[in-house]
Amino acid sequence: MSKKIYITTSLPYVNADPHLGHALEFVQTDCVVRYQRLIGNEVFFISGADENSLKNVLAAEKAGVSVQDWVNKQSDTIYRFKDAYNISFDDFIKTTQLRHVEGAQKMWLSAKEDIYKGYYEGLYCVGCEDFYREADLVDGCCPEHKTKPEIVKEENYFFRLSKYQKQLEEIYQDNQIGIYPSSRKSDIYNFLKEGLRDFSISRSQTRAHNWGIPVPEDKSQAIYVWFDALCNYVTVLGYAKNSPLFRAWWEDESTEIWHFIGKDISKFHCIYWPAMLMAAKLRLPSKIIIHGFITSEGEKMSKSLGNGLNPFELAKEYGPDVLRYYMLREFSLAQDGDFNRITLLERYNKELANGLGNLLSRVTTLMEKNGGRVKPEFNLLSSAIEETWQKYNEAFSEFKINLAVDSFLQLITKADAFVNEKQIWKIEDKEQLEQFLSSLWLILANLSLLIEPFMPETSKKIKESLGIKNEKKEDWSKTTFAVKKISALFPRKQ
């Protein structure tokens, strides 16, 4: 029975050009989205850009342009991931859009019972848009951005997070919100163990440089970035006006809600966001999937550190499918991974050029020599295909995306071994040859599906070569397919 799943990425800040680390989240999320669609589930996938951050204001001032012009340009750059990496999101929210402004203000009013005004003095990191305790600093600096936080003294509004301490403990003890990978749960338990403190959810318009969403009923204050930005997950659906989209994809209890985020913002999504939802009397997300970082020489890629690799130049250099494959193959959700051109080239040549590409070329050449028409009625490799799908589905059920790659690489190895063992190019018996080619056609056809979430364009090319148009998998054995030889899909690189 098919499911409905609402899937989101986090919203990147637009204070500077994005780096390859941003591509990782887009690609991992899109891979899962495409897998869910592949197995018949209905998915609504959204992304966007956080335009209300103070960091954006400071970046615009430094560049000598208006804030609106700055965020427009930078948000358009974030949107470029859609084409550059073949990301299949259904909607893209900008937090200056009216639907978001009205929705964030509605969320504020809905949570009003847990909001109060108070005076605050603390150490504030503009890069993190968060306050730190002295004990959290490393050599007096923010552990994330390596900069000294500024002392902020201000009267603003607070959210009564401490009220939800026990409820949040129960939520994670009972797995009401699933955390993936499970190793990330310890971070959540550590946040809770320290004891939850109420947090600031507004700033004065002076400190906000008159940028951001005004607090309802108090125009002297702007809504603080995390209370503002987190609302995007409901505002993009039309929460402000209780739209049919919102009712279908958030309020409908049969819909699952999955958030994909980076580990540096897990506190905000796993602690702040559920508390805000409870205060506003909205349902909780089903799963929060937390990924690590792509590092550069061991350091997290960061706009402030200036060590990020340009994701658009890399996509042009290698092609989106190759980069998607490398990131999904090389990096597990549970760990950080260092981007390495040598490893990328090795994987490309061994697994794509010599592996998938070589198998495709060999088999389609054999089919073309045999008349170019295949009716896949025989399957001598059915057990290998079934085992592959079982491992593949199990990997995706735990968001172990890199293990899903292992499963179809093993199928490629088995298919190559079958071709070599049977020496198919020497077979003269027509019936036997047709049985072998039928079995190999089914291997390639299944591979075209297995790789679709990873390399969507390559998947299309394989289907075209095999003559697959709109035929469903269960109808393959009833159809005769016209096969064309495919070669140099992945030419070797030096």
Q: Is residue 330 part of a domain?
A: no
Residues 187-211: b if buried by 16+ CB within 10 A, e if exposed: ebeebbeeebebbbbbbebebbbeb
For the chain, the straight-line distance linking the first and the last C-alpha, in angstroms and rounded, comes to 47
Predicted confidence (pLDDT) at residue 304 exceeds the cutoff of 90: no
pLDDT on residue 207: 86
Range of the domain at 160: 4-318
Domain boundary among 286, 318, 350: 318
**Residue 384 CA to its chain's centroid (Å):** 30
Chosen domain end from 318, 349, 376:
318
Give the chain's mean pLDDT.
Answer: 93
Q: 471 with 375: CB under 8 angstroms?
A: no
What pLDDT score does 147 carry? 82
Cα(266)–Cα(255) distance, integer angstroms? 22
Identify whether residues 309 and 225 lie together within a single domain: yes
Percent of the chain with pLDDT over 90: 83
145 has pLDDT over 80: no
User: Is the pLDDT reported for residue 377 higher than 90?
Assistant: yes
Which residues, in sequence order, are CB contacts of 426 under 8 Å at separation 6+?
none
Residue 494 pLDDT: 78
Which of 32-41, 184-193, 237-246, 332-341 shows the lowest per-residue confidence on average (mean pLDDT)?
Answer: 332-341
Strands (E), 191-254: 199-200, 202-204, 214-215, 218-223
**CATH value at residue 459:** 1.10.730.10
Cis amide prior to 12 (ω within 30 degrees): no
Query: For position 205, which CATH number holds?
Result: 3.40.50.620
Kindly indicate the confidence band of residue 223, based on its pLDDT and cuts at 50, 70 and 90.
very high
pLDDT of residue 273: 98
Q: CB within 8 A of 325, min separation 6: which ones?
A: 347, 351, 352, 405, 454, 455
Residues 248, 353 within the same domain? no
Report yes or no on 490 lying in a domain: no
Percent over 70 (pLDDT), the chain: 96
The string of pLDDT tens digits covering residues 57-91 is: 999 999 999 999 999 999 999 999 999 999 999 99
Q: 3-state DSSP: the chain helix, strand, coil percent, rounded to 5? A: 50, 15, 30
Same domain, 313 and 345: no
Name the band, by pLDDT with cuts 50, 70 and 90, for residue 307: low
Residue 446 maps to a domain: yes
pLDDT over 90 (residue 373): yes
Residue 134 pLDDT class (50, 70, 90 cuts): confident
Whether residue 303 is predicted with pLDDT greater than 80 in this model: the reply is no
Listed in order, strand segments (DSSP E) in 76-190 are 91-94, 115-125, 130-132, 150-159, 178-180
Q: Note whether residue 478 is domain-resident.
A: yes
Residue 298 and residue 380 share a domain: no
Decide: 10 and 47 in contact? Cβ < 8 Å. no
Classify residue 128: in a domain, yes or no.
yes
pLDDT in tens, 167-221: 999 999 999 999 999 999 999 999 999 999 999 999 999 989 999 999 999 999 9
333 in a structural domain: no
Question: DSSP 3-state assignment of 201?
Answer: coil
Tally the residues of the chain.
494
Same domain, 254 and 199: yes
| 56 in Cβ contact with 74 (< 8 Å) | yes
pLDDT, position 131: 72
In a domain, 487, yes or no: no
Question: Is the domain of 218 the same as that of 259?
Answer: yes
Model pLDDT, residue 335: 87
Closest CA to 301 of 64, 100, 19, 111: 19
Q: Choose the weakest-confidence range: 5-14, 101-110, 132-141, 313-322.
A: 132-141
Q: What is residue 263's three-state secondary structure?
A: helix
pTM for the structure as a whole:
0.92
Clarify whether residues 16 and 134 are in a common domain: yes
In 22-114, DSSP assigns E strands to: 42-49, 91-94
166 shares a domain with 199: yes
Mean per-residue pLDDT for 112-119?
94
303 plus 350 within the same structural domain:
no
| Residue-level pLDDT at 140 | 80
Are 163 and 251 found together in one domain? yes
Inside any domain, residue 241: yes
Cβ proximity of 481 and 374 under 8 Å: yes
CA atoms of 483 and 155, how far apart (whole Å): 71
* Domain stop point among 318, 352, 376: 318
- Taking 70 as the threshold, does the pLDDT of residue 305 lie above it? no
Active site residue ranges: 19, 22, 125, 128, 142, 145, 300, 303
Question: pLDDT value at position 123?
Answer: 80
Kindly state whether residues 140 and 68 are assigned to the same domain: yes
Give the DSSP H/E element, type plus range, for residue 159. Answer: strand 150-159
- Residue (of 113, 124, 427) closest to 278 by Cα position: 113
Task: Count structural domains, the chain.
Answer: 2
Q: Which among 288, 290, 306, 299 is positioned nearest to 337, based on CA atoms?
A: 299
Residues 375 and 250 in one domain: no
